Amino acid sequence: MIGLAIGAGVFLILGAFLLLYRLHTLVAVMKRPEETAGAGMNKTNAFILLLFLISGMALLFWYSITYFDDYQLPIASEHGVTTDRLFWITMAITGFVFIVTQILLFYFSFKYQHNDKRKALFFPENNKLEIIWTILPAIVLTTLVIYGLIVWNKVMAPAPEEAEVVEIMGYQFAWRVRYPGKDGKLGSYDFRKIDVTNEFGLDFSDKAAYDDFMPRELHLPKGKPVEFRIRARDVLHSVFAPHFRLKMDAVPGMPTRFWFVPTKTTEEMREETGNSDFNYEIACTEVCGKGHFSMRLLVIVHEAEEYEKWKAEQQPWLSKHPEYMAQVPDNLKELAMIKSQAQDISIN
Amino acid sequence: MASTVLDEHVDHITEDHAHEHNESFITKYIFSQDHKTIAKQFLITGIFWALIGGFMSLVFRMQLGFPDTQLEWLRPLLGKWLTTEGKLDPEFYLALVTMHGTIMVFFVLTAGLSGTFSNFLIPLQIGARDMASGFMNMLSYWFFFTSSVIMFFSLFIETGPASGGWVIYPPLSALPQAMSGSGLGMTLWLISMALFIVSTLLGGINYITTIINMRTRGMSFAKMPLTIWSFFLTAIIGLLSFPVLLAAALLLIFDRSFGTSFFLSDIYIAGEALPNIGGSPILFQHLFWFLGHPEVYIVLLPALGITSEVISTNSRKPIFGYKAMILSMVGITVLSFVVWAHHMFVSGMNPFLGSVFMLLTLIIAVPSAVKVFNYLTTLWKGNIIFTPAMLFSIGLVSFFISGGLTGLFVGNSAIDIQLHDTYFIVAHFHLVMGSAAFFGLMAGVYHWFPKMFGRMMDAKLGYLHFWVSFVGIYMVFFPMHYIGIAGFPRRYYSFTNFDAFSSFTDLNAFVTIAAIATFFAQFVFLFNFFYSMFRGKRAPANPWRSNTLEWTTPRVPKHGNWPGEIPTVYRWPYDYSKPGAKEDFIPQNVPLSETPESNLPAEAAKVAVEKVNEDK
Ligand code: HEM
Ligand SMILES: [Cu+2]
Ligand SMILES: [Cu+2]
């Protein structure tokens, strides 16, 4: 509907231009010989420039205000609040500059349209003016840079000790997640150990791997720092969680990380947005091939206790895939069984 | 003195031209060494590519705006790239955006813009018979042509053209098993780009040499039109940055075909672990953007140069802050080499590097801002004539403001976390680079068409072309800011897989409609262009009452440009509406001694010196 309305508006405006154009041609043909400035259409063009400025600004304000909630995603992370604040401060400054400069551009064009009786002002330079408008942007930009640096350094600082660690791995064309299990340590991996079942390439000579578990969705606790350990198996991918204001590339051969604190559970977000089907999602933002647009990972944010409960219920991967016990070195088999709680499975 | 040697050489050329009619069709129009013909060759090839690139964008815009439409009618063209339901194949969608980007950035806005106007204007505006090396210049075009043929051919091969994005990041671009476009299509892309780089280098060396060595008497650097300054700096940027892309392409070729591991490591794909160890995909990104960022200024600077010239002429006013304009362009040139990693804030590189590059990136906004203020002041108290070229220049300034300001968002790494690789970026660079440079190109064509073909283009069709394009482009790219703030990722075939990206279907449809309208407005231009070439009104010698030297040549200059002696330059190119002067313009070749009524005090003192020089 909105689209239609806007579309109709545009076509009306275009139609108006066309009409003006026709009209003017006819008038011009009747009364003016050649040789007038701007093919005899100087006034018309000056007028349309002004019209464009006014209608453009009106459209800009109308749309930005009316549809604010549509394009402004609710924020669900601690750092997201600060980066968004910086975003809106930048918006205020650039918005002001945008409006002033565009008005000057179109208004000057209109005001100083050609007039046979006038002569342009010969005004080749003015050092004072130029110094002013070199220094003024420099000051404003310095402020933005300093503020930006502060925010950036905080967001990118190393994760706190107690952060929940989760591994996210991208591959063509999905994400997989891995939790460290009870020992709180992610087991090491090797891409040469990857096969159809062992998608992460877990290395079973590392004790830490035995209790790692891999749920289908990503579960997070509210109010606790979480660190994503991000990697890719084949080509570049990029973890993008829009509501958490989080993005980081997944690079084969070079693990990356990003930590943050979720501030709203999925339930809370459902209430806030009034959408009972709301779900957090992770998307891929680095082109990775045919299925790039379908790399969706469902994210569920729980209250902290709920999250612990969920974690306790998870089965280590090794317990579900006992055939991989064979890869565990003999001296560690017992430990592996204990850690993966896989007592009922025979060893060979 | 060098200049006398040159003049002799030049006289020799003019004599040759007494036998001009002996030139065959082939040496005159095809393997021509005349810079003006080569310029037209670049222009026509650029227009050809623009149509293809533009059409591609319509096809993928259809997919984004109207995902449910049948594209069956495109089957004769797209063949198996349509699914059985008549939808675009998702992989071909990526091929289209990749080729669209490559074509527009390199073939249209680099070759089509720089190639056309550097070639056409440098000798004409600095007062030279031709380029330093006509032969190298000819080679430059034919390398570009060959590169074009290969790229064009790659569109039709079985496995499809390169599809990994115009930035061709490995491993995606290195592994044919990752997507079908990374097979032969990618190989052809690399070969084509290698030839393209050779073309750019041959052209650039020529531009630089010509500007340094072949300026006419009196044409000091401080009297050069801003167009020439911009072409000069653009050529320098190109010369320093394109070789790095060549290196990156070469290493990628090695990785693809010879088993090296520059960019590859720890990869498991298509059911097997690859032997490559120790390479880094990030390295490629550094190399690519070391060209890639300067490249955006290679595209933009010539457009800004053209605009400076057109705005000054049609405001009937000197460009405000000539020196500041040059300084800011020099500033942009230098800084453009030290900001590349702002494309990589979230690539996984060290966050400290991100800090440094954020700082450097935001500094580059200062000279950009100075340029905008200077344009505005040039318009202030002018006496503005809205030729089509002038309107396109005003449009360029508007786009440059809109797109430049969003640079302050994405240049700030903390904000860029969210905006990177969303439609916000698409909006940013299409306004500041794509549309601005496109408008610069159009301003140049409308302004110099009379000199290129000796005829005038129809102004009214020009106005129609301008208004639909101007409104249309804003309607296409402005809404993308909102879509980008909402987080919509770029290079997505469809948004239906995500709850978060399921809105804005109306707006996307609207954008597509606007894109179609804008595209079809270009046919008004095409008609005007080709019709006027043969049927346009005969151009007067100096239709815009402009000061620069090209307007002192005959209506259609022959090879050698001036039939007689090359004019001498006595003043800067911006003596418009000088107080006391009879006319509102004084061409560069009018001696100060002839204009005592309008000379400024400093100039009056130079009259005596001028006399002495003349007598020599
Ligand atoms: C005010 C000055 C500018 C700043 C601070 C700026 C900053 C940036 C930044 C940080 C990005 C990367 C964003 C991302 O991918 O997340 C970017 C992208 C881009 N910018 Fe600018 N920019 C400025 C002006 C320009 C100009 C003048 C041009 C072209 C003439 C330009 C062309 C581009 C292009 C083509 C891209 C996207 C490349 C891609 O990812 O495909 N920018 N800009
Ligand atoms: Cu992807
Ligand atoms: Cu850049």
pLDDT, tens only, B454-506: 999 999 999 999 999 999 999 999 999 999 999 999 999 999 999 999 889 99
Q: What are phi and psi of A247, to 5 degrees?
A: -155, 135
Place B83 in a pLDDT band, splitting at 50, 70 and 90: confident
pTM of the predicted protein model: 0.92
H or E stretch at B535: helix B505-535
* Ranges in chain A, pLDDT < 50: 1-2, 29, 31-34, 342-348
pLDDT higher than threshold 90 for residue B15: no
Preceding amide of A173 cis, omega within 30: yes
How many Å apart are CA B103 and CA A161, to the nearest integer? 49
How many Å apart are CA B586 and CA B412, to the nearest integer? 46
Instruction: Look at residue B155 and give its three-state secondary structure.
Output: coil
How many Å apart are CA A111 and CA A103, to the nearest integer? 11
Burial of B316 (0-12, 13-18, 19+ CB in 10 A): buried
Place B23 in a pLDDT band, splitting at 50, 70 and 90: low
pLDDT higher than threshold 60 for residue B195: yes
Beta-carbon contacts of residue B314 (< 8 Å; ≥ 6 apart): B384, B385, B386, B387, B389, B390, B393, B544
From chain B, the residues in CB contact with A98 under 8 A are 401-402, 405
Contact state of B489 with A191 under an 8 Å Cβ cutoff:
no
The CA A101 to ligand 3 mean position distance, Å, reads: 23
Place B69 in a pLDDT band, splitting at 50, 70 and 90: confident
H or E stretch at A286: none
pLDDT given for residue A229 in this prediction = 96
Q: What is the DSSP string of B317-329?
A: SPPTTHHHHHHHH
Q: Which of B11-25, B82-96, B243-257 shows the lowest per-residue confidence on average (mean pLDDT)?
A: B11-25
pLDDT given for residue A31 in this prediction = 47
Contact state of B383 with A123 under an 8 Å Cβ cutoff:
no
Give the mean pLDDT of B285-306: 96
How many Å apart are CA B113 and CA B106, to the nearest integer? 10
Nearest 5°: the CA angle A230, A235, A238 is: 45
Torsion of CA B422, B427, B430, B435, to 10 degrees: 170
pLDDT given for residue A8 in this prediction = 55
Mutate to test the interface with A, among B182, B268, B284, B377 (most CBs of A within 10 A): B268
> How many angstroms separate the CA of residue B348 from the nearest CA in chain A?
6
pLDDT higher than threshold 50 for residue B135: yes
The CA B411 to ligand 3 mean position distance, Å, reads: 8
Q: What CATH class does A164-341 carry? A: mainly beta
Residue B309, ligand 1, Cβ within 6 A = no
Burial of B492 (0-12, 13-18, 19+ CB in 10 A): buried
Beta-carbon contacts of residue B284 (< 8 Å; ≥ 6 apart): B169, B170, B248, B251, B252, B262, B263
Mutate to test the interface with B, among A54, A61, A119, A299 (most CBs of B within 10 A): A119
Cβ < 5 A residues, ion ligand 2 = A 237, 284, 288, 292
Asked if B252 contacts B258 with a C-beta cutoff of 8 angstroms, the reply is no
Give the mean pLDDT of B32-44: 94
Nearest 5°: the CA angle A155, A159, A160 is: 120
pLDDT given for residue A209 in this prediction = 92
Q: What are phi and psi of A229, to 5 degrees?
A: -100, 120
Query: Which is the closest atom of ligand 1 to the Cα of B413?
Result: 10
pLDDT higher than threshold 60 for residue B565: yes
Per-residue pLDDT tens digits for B394-422: 999 999 999 999 999 999 999 999 999 99
Mutate to test the pocket of ligand 1, among B408, B429, B490 (most ligand atoms within 8 A of CB): B429
Q: Which of A118, A218, A143, A133 is nearest to A175 (CA)?
A: A218
- Helix, strand, coil: what percent of chain A each, to 5? 50, 15, 30
From chain B, the residues in CB contact with A118 under 8 A are 383
How many Å apart are CA B587 and CA B576, to the nearest integer? 9
Beta-carbon contacts of residue A319 (< 8 Å; ≥ 6 apart): A340, A341, A342, A345
Query: Which is the closest atom of ligand 1 to the Cα of B361?
Result: 5
Contact state of A235 with B483 under an 8 Å Cβ cutoff:
no
pLDDT given for residue A339 in this prediction = 84
Beta-carbon contacts of residue B317 (< 8 Å; ≥ 6 apart): A120, A121, A122, A123, B378, B379, B381, B382, B383, B576, B577
The structure tokens 């680079």 sit at B433
Q: Which residue of B has its CA nearest to A37?
A: B385
Give the mean pLDDT of B517-533: 95
Give the 3-state secondary structure of B61-95.
HHHHHCCCCCCHHHHHHHHHHECCCCCECHHHHHH
Q: Which residue of B has its CA nearest to A124?
A: B320
Nearest 5°: the CA angle B38, B530, B313 is: 70
How many Å apart are CA B502 and CA B470, to the nearest integer? 29
H or E stretch at A293: none
Per-residue pLDDT tens digits for B152-191: 999 999 999 999 999 999 999 999 999 999 999 999 999 9
pLDDT higher than threshold 60 for residue B9: no
Place B19 in a pLDDT band, splitting at 50, 70 and 90: very low
Place B6 in a pLDDT band, splitting at 50, 70 and 90: very low
How many Å apart are CA B399 and CA B397, to the nearest integer? 5
Residue B368, ligand 1, Cβ within 6 A = yes
The structure tokens 């082109």 sit at A287
